[in-house]
Structure 1
Amino acid sequence: APQIQTLPFRGANDRGKIMDNQHKQITGYRDLSQSEIDGINSIKALEADAADLVKQLKAIPDVDQRSIALAVTNLQQACMWLTKGVARSDNPFN
């Protein structure tokens, strides 16, 4: 069985500290080009706008909340796949 490396717990004193190279410590991640970073940031902005719209729609009386919940799930999935498509992290199944 493969060995899994565990990292020390990051306590409250570490919050807010961001390492410049943390993606290099995650297996399968790679450096992104500026256009890829811009693309992912655009996806994140789209996600935030969609979340704002969903909040507005949920507040409308008699809106089908189940349909809204299904839409949220699919929006989350769409943003995840868009991000994965840009980031192209290693696929261990290939």
Structure 2
Amino acid sequence: MTRSELVTALAQRFPQLQTNDTGLSVNVILERMAEALTHGDRIEKRGFGSFKINFRLPRTGRNPKTGQCVQVPAKAVPHFKPGKELRDRVG
């Protein structure tokens, strides 16, 4: 589902809201989620899942084309763990 599909679905579900309002709401929610992850906070929606930041240590990798060793720096990556309810519904 894309952002515009989510906005359309919300606008249809709540006809008292205008599409611009739902679009703004979706943007604010996603912005706040990104901000929270940027600050190292964990985001949890019971039944749906949680987002957190995983830290990857620096390591030595290989360039697949040349086989040459390259240093891969440490980095932080977002990670999503689905909740039990979501796992049950999907699988």
TM-score of the superposed pair, with normalisation by structure 1? 0.31
> Whose strand proportion is higher, 1 or 2?
2
TM-score of the superposed pair, with normalisation by structure 2? 0.31
> Whose helix proportion is higher, 1 or 2?
1
